Amino acid sequence: MRRLVFLYAERFREAGSTVMRGFQLADIAREHLPRRRVSVRPLGSTARNSDVFLTKGAVNMATPEQLDLLVRSGNRLLFDPVDELPPWTTARFADVLVASSHTAFEHYSRAFPATRVALVDHHVDPRLPTSPAPPSRFRAGYFGERVNAVLTPRIEERVDVVAIDTSRHDDAWLSGLGRYSFHYAVRQQRALDHFKPFLKGFTAAHCGAPVLIQRDQEEAVRWLGADYPYLLDDTNEETILSALARAESEFGGPRWLRALSVMEGIRARTSPERIASELAAAIA
């Protein structure tokens, strides 16, 4: 059985993509793929006759010379650009191009027809509570970088903003997740956004909370379904405020319970066991 080596770029060691798709995914592999020897190493380390999983930082930082040496050492290379466009080195060096979302999987399959593409959905942070107790009242929270969300002073009167800096390791925000029964995920679209996995939705699902997001987010709708109760048709402030008020009035009611049922299904589909099975298929 070949060793599974996760490579990260030292410059991005503290970045969320390195922590989650490097160190944490390696832990998931160790627990659920016990026949695999798993290690995490910085880019530039020696690896031979292994399956080498390059995290986003490593994919972007690796030079052609480094990649060529890895290939000549008998390794199979898996590139994981997560939410970015794959670099030009992909077609030449990647044995497997890993997609962390369904929209990325479809785009990569069209853009790199000669490269095998494999779906490994994004996992949630394993430090989340495993059996969250649902809050007894409506309370909405946004967890992430402020620049990624549609926020106004009036929206922030209804939604607590828990700011996260994904460029460095920060887990302080995790302890407060259990206080929120509703997760705000209305995205501010930016030019650098490409194929965002539905991680905010996965996090909400593992917390036992519905999520609010706009309908034009294709990846989210694929997971939630077009008839999910809390999809926005636009991101105008009044539309968002009305949706928040409606969700609060429906707390515990039939539409709320239907949304929770959808989230429970997402939780099952993003369990560590399910993620490990997708990783196993990618490296098979």
Tell me, yes or no, whether 175 and 78 share the same domain.
no
> Residue 81's domain spans which residues?
3-120
How many helices (DSSP H) and strands (DSSP E) are in the chain? 12, 11
Give dist(CA 198, CA 223) in Å, integer. 8
Tell me, yes or no, whether 21 and 107 share the same domain.
yes
User: Based on the number of CB atoms within 10 Å of its own CB, is 108 exposed (0-12), middle (13-18) or buried (19 or more)?
Assistant: buried
Give dist(CA 211, CA 64) in Å, integer. 42
DSSP H or E run through 161: strand 159-163
> CATH number for the domain including 257?
3.40.50.2000
| Geometric angle at alpha carbon 54, from 51 and 60, rounded to 5° | 150
Tell me, yes or no, whether 58 and 170 share the same domain.
no
- pLDDT tens-digit profile, the chain (284 residues): 899 999 999 999 999 899 999 999 999 999 999 999 999 999 999 999 999 999 999 999 999 999 999 999 999 999 999 988 999 999 999 999 999 999 999 999 999 999 999 999 999 998 886 666 667 899 999 998 899 999 999 999 999 999 887 666 667 677 778 889 999 999 987 766 678 899 999 999 999 999 999 999 999 999 999 999 999 999 999 999 999 999 999 999 999 999 999 999 999 999 999 999 999 999 99
Q: Other CB atoms closer than 10 Å to residue 7's CB: what's the count?
A: 29
Tokens coding 33: 């793929």
For residue 86, give the DSSP letter: P
> CATH number for the domain including 112?
3.40.50
Q: Which amino acid is at 190?
A: R
Q: Which domain-ending residue is among 71, 92, 120?
A: 120
